[in-house]
Structure 1
Amino acid sequence: MKARLLFLFFIAVAAQVSAQTYRLSGKIVDEKNVPVSFASIYIRNTTYGTTANEEGEYEFKLQAGTYTVVYRYVGYLEHTEKITLTSSNQERNITLMNEPFVLQGEAGTGNETDPAVDIMKKVIGKREYYLNQVNEYSCAVFVKGVQRLVSAPKSLMNKNVARALQLDASGKGILYQSESISEYNYKSPDHIKEVMIASKTAGQNTAFSYNKASDLQINFYQNNFEIQGLSARAFVSPFAENANSFYNYKLIGRSVKSGRQIDKIQVIPKRSNEAVYQGNVYVVEGDWRIYGVDLYLTNKDANINLVDTLNISQQYIPITDSVWLPTSSLFNFGGDVLGFKFKGYYLAVYNNYNLNPGFKKGYFDGEVMRIDTQANAKNMRYWNSNRPVPLTNVEEADYIKKDSLAKIQNTPRYLDSLNRAQNDFNPVSLSYLIFGHQFYDRKTRQSLYLNPFLQTVFYNTVEGYGIDAKVHYIKGFDNGQSFSVTPELRYGFAAKMLNANLGFTYNYDPKTQSVLSARFGSDILDLNNAGTRSLFFNTLSTLFYENNYVKLYRTRFGVVAWQRELVNGLLLNTQASYAEREQLYNTSFNHAFDNKEKTYTANNPLANPPTVESQLFPTNQALTIKASLTYTFRQQYITRPDGRYIEPSKYPKIRLNYRKGVSGILGSDVNYDFTSLDVFDDHMQVGLAGFSAFKITAGTFLNHRSLYFMDYNHFFGNQGTVFNPTIGSFHFLPFYAYSTDRSFLEAHYEHNFAGNFLSKIPFIRKLKLEEVVGANYLTQAQHSTYSGVGNNTLIQPVKGNYSEFYIGVQRFIFRVDYGISFDGGHKAIQGFRIFYGLR
């Protein structure tokens, strides 16, 4: 027995020794002893590699054995060493020599006769082959990001600012750094799933942090490449099928690496201020494939946002004899905001490629990313053992400093003091005026939100001056569930009318978007349920311009609703409500400026004449049932420890709606059936031309035996200078004139050219404006009467086709449009419409 145990012990020791890893490390410099930042190092005939850090330092964890290690970086001669690891760590410092790219008697001129033109034609000819060469693969991805402040204006940098940014006494230092390790899975043509194993950020006091490897997935074999946030435009690859229309090419020279001839080609934009790159590309002659790229964009030439320069470097290595894939991708950037100069980088290192992962059927189910519940809990020992790129001394010190600060900032005493400071309420502050105020208790995960003051005090001609006090109470739970209560009190002083209602919402299964809600009480509602003006803007237009556009009625109601995602991408919404609806009339005629040429209109949108009150509908009861099914094609989502988050879709959505007025139950007076179909997409990339948005809705009343004006189908109109830019809204359509109980078709289309034209105009291009054009259209089965008042029939004017066309410019949330509308063949309204964030 003892002999057997001893034998097993020796086997275990031998296995442990054979699995022992050793550290191969060193520093990579050039001929002038300057560190070669982000040089690539990989083991030949494997897919295991790493990248040097900013100071040229690198390290490997390897088992004992003999390895052929390749050191390379664009612009330097490839260096190969055979290294044997036996029983200890090794340090191997490397000097990379500048690479002499020789023209070999050929003259590059930068025009169509340059040899580079023929070379690039051959590479572009094989673009589609290499784009589709690999059907599927999996790999490990390490992503690292660093942002640092390099200088700041003395007038703006003080101790408080430096302390808030966690900088040193001089106001310089690392603002932010992050690391993540993921398993990345791909299947042609565009299926991805990323599983994040570990994530770390420097001193970020958040519940969770992550960095997606997919954000750094660059494939220059694709025609265009979008960089989110950098520009609304897509950038043309130097290897795109139409690249010859955008670039000139110049052969810089040739070199031989590992028996392959590499051509260095300068990429030169044919025209300035287009969405194109500058720099150099490296291609393998004979194979006509990408060897590496070293390209850049500038704010001056490419009109990019956020940064002044962005350098993109990428290096490919052979995974097999015929398949090459990236070993690293690097975004290097720098910029200047109000004198604060910053720079940084994001680096992705790819390892352990598997070209035959054998994904099971259904593996790519819409989940594009899953973050492990313990990803943010990995300790320093884990990171020291698993990060492929060593920290610099500055980065390591920053981690230690900010981790220490984070420990202090996560103590109950600090968190309680921070909670008290955030809950400090100032009723006369600008923040409360515009954004409202939130009280939050971190221990119980309860919050109370007060609506902004601008949404609390109002004026209209029905209620007079009034107060609409609404608060939102939310209780969150560790499993992602939440419960909310929303009470509302509304009082109009002129009408002496008090309304109160109470709402409940229970989000009981976040993974399936399952929500149960109910609301009951009394309220003042808009006759147009599609959308008109907010309380704030209606107050302004009524008081200062004597335009009381919004028409109101009173309801005493109860409503219950249920929502659930049946399968990924298919969302069901249902609702049942019972209401008593009462017509209201104008009771107040106060205004800020007495304009004797204008008179308030009646609270009946169909009144004739419009200034004289008349009955629109009798008091009635309505039992209404609603249901809708919304399908998102190929819906994608991210699963995080704190919930499931839907990603913006690349494809349109389709929604089927049904609404029924039920008669005879609980005294309900309505009897109708309405159905409609929506097809919409609010961001559809259109190559280099920018992006489009559209919405098409067709609907009809299957029967309309008994219904009232608020039961009609209404449209998202606009009356006033400020408009809502949401796709599906009109610029000039009156709020109530086109409401219908018959069949209709509405269509909206808008295209954002993303600065393609204005970026070419001197001075104007500095504003970085985006050009917008659009059109809205409405047609409906004609009807001429509205008989919702019993024996008193109101005349609803016959309406033909309605259309409007507009052009505009926007920058972030600011937008100005000029448009013109047509009622049938007659011009109706034209003018400017603006948007500046408030609706």
Structure 2
Amino acid sequence: MIKSLIVFFAVILAKPVFGQSVLAGRVTDSQGNAAAFTSVYINGTTQGTSANPNGYYSLKLKPGKYVINYRFVGFKQQTDEVEVTGNYNTHNVTLVYEDYQPKQNTPPVTEDAAFDIIRNAIKKRDYYLKEINAYSCDVYIRGTQKLISAPKGMLSRGVARQLQLNLSAKSILYMSESASHFNFEQPGNYKEVMVSSKATGNYNAFNFDRAANLQVNFYKNMLDIEGLNQRGFISPIADDALKYYTYKLLGSTTENGKVVNKIQVTPIDDREPVFKGNIYIVENDWRIYAAHLYVTGKSNLNFVDTLNINQQYLPVSADKWQPSSVSFTYSGNVLGFRYNGYILGTFSNYNLDTKFPPHFFNGETMRIADITVKRDSVYWSQNRPVPLTFDEQRIYNLKDSLVAAHSKPAYLDSAERANNKFSPLSYVFFGDTVKHRHKNEVITVNPLYDVVQYNPIEGWVVDLKPTYTKSMDVGKAYTISPELRYGFDNKIVSLNTGFNYRYDPEHEGAFYGKVGTGILDLNNEGTVGPFLNSFNALYFKSNDLKLYRSKFLMAGTQREVARGLLLDGNLEYARRTALQNQSSRTVRSFPDKEFNSNNPFITAVNAPLLFEENDALTLKLSGTYTFDEEYTTTPGGRVYDQSKYPKIKVNYRKGIKGIFSSDVDYDYADVQIYHDHINLGIYGFSAFQVTAGNFFNSNALSYPDYKWFKGNQGITFTPGISQFHFLPYYTYSQSSFLEAHYEHNFAGYLFNNIAGLRKLKLEEIIGGNFLTQKNTPNYGEIYVGVQRFFFRIDYGFVYRRGHIDQGIKLYFGI
């Protein structure tokens, strides 16, 4: 009776659209257990769906007779003929476990028969990877994560109530689902159009929200499962799979006239990024029929302890197969909070004859329209291909009722007032944000530790830098960012205002500018932060910042003019004035120590000014080209994907003499080649940057016009591919130079083989930096480091002017 009621509710939740009926039911095994994620599709077609975790399925069909296939890994495929008549039709199915009979090896036997099957599958791997030139299909993705248990006392009833959690039972932390139309063309072009998307709960959950990330293709040598680890996983039929796996033939069976071999996959070393489980290979065709594989924490996983993958293929034509579904089930434990979950992807309505128009694959990998996330519950009940479980439906009903209540103007106004309430403690560390939803306005104020500063050039400083942002339709927005700065010892008031108008978010089109007066760092690449410099000055009488004053007017614009080509240009007029120390106060007494001067090249207190006051009219132009650029289009603009290829950037800077009394006359240019993330598979990933530049004309220029580098002098540093570890802050070039950086993150490749370190999931890092130019010939650094989340420690050596030094650098931040 209970089962019948559950089937009934599963059916009525799948409301038919006009002219269609619903075929629904439950798929179980012979013991009555749910056959979760069973593929259900019409025989001879790719129209179908999957059962939910409780085995319930729902399929919308026109009235008539159908032959339905029910298939899941480890079970014998069942084919039933059903007749769909009225609005709702119930058809329950009991699957029978597949009986894989052992094969008899012909003596003499030197290795398991599975090895020959795998070798044949490896030979056909590349063929099956490329056999379909192009296709399109519909993809539905569902993900749910549940809290299983929490440490006693750490999850109070008040917190549980706010999160809608039941402490005595499994409670859903996160749910999401999406429907997309996916298009593919060799050799790797794809475009996904998201039709609908819905999510609720903790968005930091392990999950996929796009079909491209759910492409678990075992025909590839390496499988990258986003978020799971940095190294990827080796396919059981990769070209070099025999170096990592051993195989055993568990048996064979006949399915649809084809002999299917069940092969057990066992890693030679389970500390490598490898799978365990079973893979099913079709005899003679040597294609994958299905896969039931899993990975464990020994492979240095993030977020989860164990991940199971079930994938099934179906024929989309007479001799071509594609995935019909893929499901992930996983479990994890973070600080005693135990959770599990699943992610289900169904692929249906394959079309191998799709004719894509010219330039259809133009770099846009996904398009998300504004309507995508605004689909209501009626839309989802009519279009959801996989029924919700009872708990999922309960959570959605609860969330929908909360959304309805929280969408009322009175609640929104109350919530806005509460969120805009000033919090002194929060302001000290994070600043303050005020939002006005009716006007689409946001005002932010920098935190107190950034407002109050100290340095010997200005003394105590108050530096207020609020920003005002106004959002408009289709991602357009403008930002106004004024700054008011006052030094209590040098008595200088600085006031300036910046402006940015994003007029074309799809092509990064913007106008920007700035006008006023400001106190600037001599090194325009950046040096020490104001908070750390203030601390060092007050407690150690050490000042690293070298500042000057500028009165300026600047205007510029940028836009992507072609795929991958971003152009930027601005013109600035500035009057630059050197500054001297005006204060010597400290918290502690230093009778025998004085602050260094504001001249970085002369330490004496009475050092002369670094440069004479001058005027400069400067033209800056740059072009950045990304090879094979790819991006996601959202209502708010483009989000760029990580490119597989390096980027090239060309910078040109011209000091224009004589106009508006400009004193400068120079021409500077450089070329950068860089890549932030080069995937090297099981060996981790690398990043590099090489920059070569020169002053082709240096008739007249001042220190603010020189080429500066990202140096570092303290024990802390901020990771970045252009960051030196030991180079003095105020190292510059006024002639030709060559700068090179390289860093490699092994992502656990080495430490995962050391028992005592494996559980720490540390990432090993090596790198080097090089600079050669007139003032700093053949300067070099090498370093090694370890990293975990937001903490990193590096130990490095530096070679300069014939001497070798060494030291430790720390990073801790989010």
TM-score by length of 1: 0.92
Distance 1:455 1:363, change over 3 A: same
Q: Which residue is equivalent to 1:785? A: none
Q: What code does the residue aligned with 1:811 have?
A: R
Provide the alpha-carbon RMSD of the alignment.
2.2
Residues 367-446 of structure 1: pairs in structure 2 closer than 5 A: 367-427=364-424, 429=425, 431-446=426-441
Matched letter for residue 338 of structure 1: L
| 1:711 alignment partner in structure 2 | 705
In structure 2, distance between residues paired with 1:803 and 1:29: 66
Aligned residue pairs: how many?
Answer: 797
Residue from 707, 726, 733 that aligns with 1:732 = 726
Kindly tell me: are residues 50 and 549 of structure 1, through their superposed partners in 2, closer, same or farther at Cα, counting changes over 3 Å?
same
Give, as a single letter, the amino acid of the residue that structure 1 aligns with 2:750: F
Q: Which residue of 528, 533, 542 maps to 1:538? A: 533
Q: Shift in Å at residue 825 of structure 1?
A: 3.5
Written as runs of structure 1 = structure 2, the 5 A alignment for 1:771-790 is 771-780=764-773, 782=774
User: How many angstroms does 1:706 deviate by?
Assistant: 0.2
Provide the residue aligned with 2:734 in structure 1: 741
**Equivalents in 2 of 1:711, 1:340: separation in Å?**
55
Could you say which residue in structure 1 is the equivalent of 2:786?
Answer: 809
Give SS of 2:159's match: helix
Equivalent position to 1:494, from 486, 489, 507 = 489
What displacement does 1:343 show? Answer: 1.4
One-letter identity of the residue aligned with 1:749: Y
Query: Does the C-alpha gap of structure 1 residues 821 and 374 become closer, same or farther in structure 2, counting only changes over 3 Å?
Result: same
Distance 2:806 2:588 in 1: 26
> Is residue 483 of structure 1 aligned with residue 478 of structure 2?
yes
Rounded Cα–Cα distance in structure 2 between residues aligned with 1:394 and 1:502? 53
Alignment of 1:87-486 (within 5 A): 89-106=88-105, 113-168=111-166, 170=168, 172-202=170-200, 211-299=209-297, 301-427=298-424, 429=425, 431-486=426-481
Contact map agreement 1:144 1:346 (CA 8 A) in 2: yes
Residues of 1 paired with 2:105 and 2:423: CA distance? Answer: 74
CA distance in 2 between counterparts of 1:210 and 1:480 reads 25
Distance 2:273 2:201 in 1: 36
Match of 2:60 in 1: 61
Query: Which whole-Å CA distance do the structure 1 matches of 2:28 and 2:105 have between them?
Result: 31
CA distance in 2, matches of 1:801, 1:68: 75
Q: Determine if the alignment matches structure 1 residue 832 to structure 2 residue 808.
A: yes
Partner secondary structure for residue 23 of structure 1: strand
Q: Matches of 1:210 and 1:810 in 2, distance apart?
A: 26
Per-residue CA distance 1:185-205 (angstroms, 9 max, x = gap): 001111110011122234799
* Structure 1 residue runs without a partner (length 5+): 1-16, 783-797
Q: Under a length normalisation based on structure 2, what TM-score does the superposition of the two structures give? A: 0.94
Q: 2:208–2:214: 8 Å Cα contact kept in structure 1?
A: no
The offset of 1:19, in angstroms, is 8.7
Distance change in 2, residues 1:112/1:743 (3 Å) = farther
The answer to whether the Cα contact below 8 Å between 1:601 and 1:612 also exists between their aligned partners in 2 is no
Are the structure 2 counterparts of residues 107 and 39 from structure 1 closer, same or farther at C-alpha, using a change threshold of 3 Å?
farther
Supply the distance in 2 between the matched residues of 1:759 and 1:112 (Cα, whole angstroms).
Answer: 33
Give SS of 2:327's match.
strand
Tell me by how many angstroms 1:320 deviates. Answer: 1.3
- In the alignment, which residue of structure 2 is the partner of 1:79? 78
How far the C-alpha of 1:544 sits from its partner, in A, is 2.7
Counterpart code for 1:105 = Q
Q: Which segments of 5 or more consecutive residues in structure 2 lack a partner in the other structure?
A: 1-15
2:682 maps to which residue? Answer: 688
- Per-residue CA deviation, residues 282-325 of structure 1 (Å, 9 max, x unaligned), is 111111011111111122x1121111211111100111121110
Question: Structure 2 vs 1, CA of residues 202 and 722 (structure 1 numbering), >3 Å: closer, same or farther?
Answer: closer
Q: Residue 615 of structure 1 corresponds to which residue in structure 2?
A: 609
Change (3 A) 1:686 1:824: farther
Matching of residue 555 in structure 1 with residue 550 in structure 2: yes
Q: 1:395 to 1:418 in 2, by over 3 A?
A: same
Whichever residue aligns with residue 313 of structure 2, its letter is: Y
The more displaced of 518-527 and 79-88 is: 79-88
Confirm or deny that 1:823 pairs with 2:795.
no
Partner of 2:3: none
CA distance in 1, matches of 2:652, 2:523: 18
Q: Which moved more, 1:460-469 or 1:662-671?
A: 460-469
What is the aligned counterpart of 1:605 among 600, 622, 642?
Answer: 600
**Closer/same/farther in 2, CA of residues 148 and 576 from structure 1, 3 Å limit:** same
- Amino acid aligned to 1:832: I
SS of 2:759's equivalent in the other structure is helix
Instruction: Choose which of 645, 656, 661 in structure 1 pairs with 2:650.
Output: 656
Q: Is the 8 A contact 1:205 1:410 kept in 2?
A: no
Distance between the aligned counterparts of 1:697 and 1:100, measured in 2?
63
Deviation of 1:243 after TM superposition, in Å, equals 0.9
Identify if the C-alpha distance between structure 1 residues 282 and 517 changes in structure 2 by more than 3 Å, giving closer, same or farther: same
| CA shift in 2, pair 1:186/1:592, >3 Å | same
C-alpha spacing 1:204/1:458, structure 2 compared with 1 (3 Å): closer
SS of the equivalent of 1:541 reads helix
Measure the CA separation in 2 of the matches of 1:326 and 1:472: 50
Q: 1:558 to 1:112 in 2, by over 3 A?
A: farther
Q: Given that residues 108 and 115 in structure 1 are in contact (C-alpha distance below 8 angstroms), is that contact kept between their aligned partners in structure 2?
A: no
Letter aligned with residue 277 of structure 2: G
Where does residue 630 of structure 1 map in the other structure? 624
How far, CA to CA, are the matches of 1:113 and 1:283 in structure 2?
18
Partners in 1 of 2:300 and 2:467 — Cα distance?
42
Specify the code of the residue in structure 2 equivalent to 1:73.
Answer: F
Greater mean deviation of Cα atoms: 194-203 or 513-522: 194-203
Aligned to 2:490, what secondary structure does the other structure show? coil
Contact 1:18/1:64 (8 A) holds in 2: no
Q: Counterpart of 1:507?
A: 502
Report the secondary structure of 2:370's partner residue.
coil
Query: 1:768 deviation in Å?
Result: 0.8
Q: Secondary structure at the match of 2:174?
A: strand
Distance 1:560 1:233, change over 3 A: same
Q: 1:9 matched to which residue of 2?
A: none
Paired AA for residue 586 in structure 2 = H
CA contact (8 A) 2:40 2:70 kept: yes
Q: Secondary structure at the match of 2:506?
A: helix
User: Shift of the alpha carbon at 1:231?
Assistant: 1.1
Distance apart, 1:742 and its partner CA:
0.4
Alpha-carbon distance, 1:340 to partner: 2.3
Indicate the residue corresponding to 1:585 in structure 2: 580
For the structure 1 residues 116 and 705, does the alpha-carbon distance in structure 2 shift closer, same or farther, using more than 3 Å as the test?
A: same
Give CA-to-partner distance per residue, 1:653-683, whole Å, 9 cap, x none. Answer: 1111010101001111000000111111111
**Larger mean Cα displacement after TM superposition, 479-488 or 659-668:** 479-488
Counterpart of 1:72 in structure 2: which amino acid? R
- Cα contact 1:205–1:409 (8 A) shared by 2: no
State percent identity of aligned pairs: 45
Deviation at 1:176, TM superposition (A): 2.1
Give the C-alpha shift of residue 112 in structure 1.
7.2
Q: Distance in 1 between matches of 2:301 and 2:209?
A: 22
Q: Which amino acid aligns with 2:517?
A: S
Structure 2 SS opposite 1:434:
helix
CA contact (8 A) 2:476 2:636 kept: no
Q: Is this contact kept in 2: 1:143–1:347, CA < 8 A?
A: yes
Cα deviation for residue 126 of structure 1 reads 0.6
Task: Give the counterpart letter for 2:760 in structure 1.
Answer: L
Q: Which amino acid aligns with 2:268?
A: K
Q: Distance in 1 between matches of 2:318 and 2:769?
A: 56
Q: Secondary structure at the match of 2:387?
A: coil
The structure-2 alpha-carbon separation of the partners of 1:463 and 1:769, relative to structure 1 and needing over 3 Å to count, comes to: same
Which residue is 1:642 aligned to? 636
Q: 1:812, CA displacement in angstroms?
A: 1.4
SS in 1 for 2:755: coil
Instruction: Report the alpha carbon displacement of residue 629 of structure 1 after superposing the two structures with TM.
Output: 0.6
CA contact 2:235–2:241 (8 Å) conserved in 1: yes
Counterpart residue number, 1:790: none
